[in-house]
Amino acid sequence: MKVRTVYWKLDGEWSTLEKFAEISSAYFKTGSTAYWKLLISTQEVQVKRGRPVIIKVRKVELPAKTAVSPLSIQRHALGTVVDVYGERLYRVEEQKNITHVVFLPVEDGTVEIDDLLGVVKVYPMNVAPAENVGAITAPEVAMSLKEQEANLVYVKDDEVVREKRILKEYWYRRWHIGEWYPLIAREEAEVTKGEAVKVRIENLELPENTIPVPMSIMTHALGTVIDIAHMGRPRAVEERKLITHAVFLPALDGRVEKGDLLGVLNVYYISSGERAARIFQHLTGKVEANHVYWKDGRIRRRSIVVTPFSFRRSSIGRFEPVIAEESVELAEGEVGVVKIRDLEFPSGTITQPLTSFNHAFGSIVDLCAFSPPKMVEEDRVVTHAVVLSPKGGRIEKGDLLGAVAVYNISVLREPEFLISKYRELMIRAEQ
């Protein structure tokens, strides 16, 4: 199908370009390794809570056959990275760069030059049309990894502190094995559309050598979790982390109640070897929560029992384009809920919006449907996209808003069987 794409051209001045292109669903295969690249500010910017800003960063050069997404767990005391831009819009198959980020503040303050704003995960991947999916293989990618000096910015004794450190970029092995952790509000909060807020949640301990990713398709009727946070300085992936807050972006005005299920974390393991025996020790027990959802045009709230469980994600997935089904004018900094052409997701799939492929006037932060929730084991349809507009502008019906990655998953209901099956493989990889 032919759609209009609108993207930023960043060559010293801010300007938008548009073109019409033929697009379709495509399949991809990711490699077993991935990389972390640092996003370090090159300008000083005053920021205000809930007002997204575009900040220039040290240029990150990326090879062809890669895609990126921000690493979760808030890296800067004042906010979190929700999208990235290069000098133009790039295809997966092209060499690319990152020159700017969309930074969503959760506190007022000043971002300074050399502040670490966030980290992006870089995934090598090959893309193929549906008819060639059987022959698709993971690519070989040469990635340059650096050591850089930057400021770690965090809160200590209620004060924002900066700690200059030498930070290292590195690679890690992906096992595509994960668990689901519920994010349950521990406090009540009045929320206002578009004003990101840190909500205190029930303490959640993340094991060492894990990467958390908020699960897509809005869980709470009022908004979406775009990141999580813990107290004190940023911690290394090798350390356990006690998560105490969720960064919640409201799409509507309303009230979050204590006990509300705000979202769910996909927590992926990147450890290997002897750590395999501990993979499933961290499963939390059953917990009660309030599921807040839409039904018949009204927000409903009912008590449910959440049973966390583990899963294996396929290394092969598909890209689905997200196309606007209505025209919308967005103000600078506004969060909008935009009608899209229905996206159908079969049972046993999870989704994730793609970073750096978004419309110039609105970055997709989540998908939603104003209907009763369905389990991942059921077929689902989403009808709207939640978008964040850092500079404001008009989205036209038929515009390409962005794309989402769709992965097949298998629920692992027999953890001990899984461990015994993969222990030998993991030990060999560690040696």
- Tens digits of residue pLDDT in 41-96: 999 999 999 999 999 999 999 999 999 999 999 999 999 999 999 988 889 999 99
pTM, full prediction:
0.91
Q: Give pLDDT, residue 121.
A: 95
The residue type of 272 is S
Where a domain ends, among 172, 195, 212?
172
Q: What are phi and psi of 94, to 5 degrees?
A: -95, 155
At residue 271, the pLDDT reads 58
Number of residues that this document lists for the chain: 431
Taking the C-alpha atoms of residue 39 and residue 175, their distance in angstroms, rounded to an integer, is: 25
Q: Which residues 6+ apart lie within 8 Å of 13 measured at CB? A: none
Are 100 and 127 in a shared domain? Answer: yes
Res 63: pLDDT: 96
Q: Which residues of 198-208 are buried (b: 16+ CB within 10 A; e: fewer)?
A: bbebbebebbb
For 244, the domain range is 175-309+413-431
Q: For the residues of 91-151, what is the DSSP string, one character each?
A: -TTS-EEEEEEEEEESS-EEE-TTBEEEEEEEEEEEEE-GGGGGG--PPP------EEEEE
Across 255-294, b (16+ Cβ under 10 Å) vs e yields ebeebbbbbbbbbbbbbbeeebeebbebeeeeeebbbbbb
Lowest mean pLDDT among 1-15, 214-228, 392-406: 1-15
Q: Residue 171 and residue 431: Cα distance in Å, rounded?
A: 17
**pLDDT band, residue 285 (cuts 50/70/90):** low
Phi, psi of 235 (to 5 degrees): -110, 150
The pLDDT assigned to 112 comes to 98
- The string of pLDDT tens digits covering residues 172-185 is 988 888 888 999 99
**pLDDT given at position 5:** 94
Residue that finishes a domain, picked among 131, 157, 172: 172
Higher pLDDT, 197 or 133: 197
Does residue 321 contact residue 351 with C-beta atoms inside 8 Å? Answer: no
The predicted pLDDT at position 277 comes to 39
- Write the CATH number for 5: 2.70.40
Asked if residue 416 has pLDDT above 50, the reply is: no
As for how many domains the chain has, the answer is 3
350-396 pLDDT per residue, tens: 999 999 889 999 999 999 999 988 888 899 999 999 999 999 999 99
Q: Are residues 116 and 58 in the same domain?
A: yes
3-state secondary structure of 87: coil
Whether residue 116 is found in the same domain as residue 16? no
- Are 81 and 137 within one domain? yes
* Residues 1, 145 within the same domain: no
Confidence of residue 273 (pLDDT cuts 50, 70, 90): very low
Helices and strands of the chain, counted as H and E runs: 1, 32
Extract the tokens encoding 387: 């978008």
Residue type present at position 153: V
Name the residue type at position 178.
G
Give residue 238's identity as a one-letter amino acid code.
E
User: What pLDDT, in 10s, does the model give residues 181-219?
Assistant: 999 999 999 999 999 999 999 999 998 889 999 999 999
Residue 12 CA to residue 205 CA, distance in Å, equals: 44
- Which of residues 172, 207, 226 is at a domain's end? 172
Query: Within this chain, do residues 266 and 304 fall inside the same structural domain, yes or no?
Result: yes
* Whether residue 43 sits in one domain with residue 11: no
* Predicted pLDDT at 375: 84
The residue-averaged pLDDT of 261-267 equals 95
Whether 425 and 279 map to the same domain: the answer is yes
Residues 390, 406 share a domain: yes
91 & 162 share domain: yes
pLDDT band, very low/low/confident/very high, at 13 (cuts 50, 70, 90): confident
Please give the span between the terminal C-alpha atoms of the chain, in angstroms, as a whole number: 49
Same domain membership, residue 345 and residue 240: no
Q: Quick count: other Cβ atoms within 10 Å of Cβ 69?
A: 19
Residues 202 and 241 both lie in one domain: yes
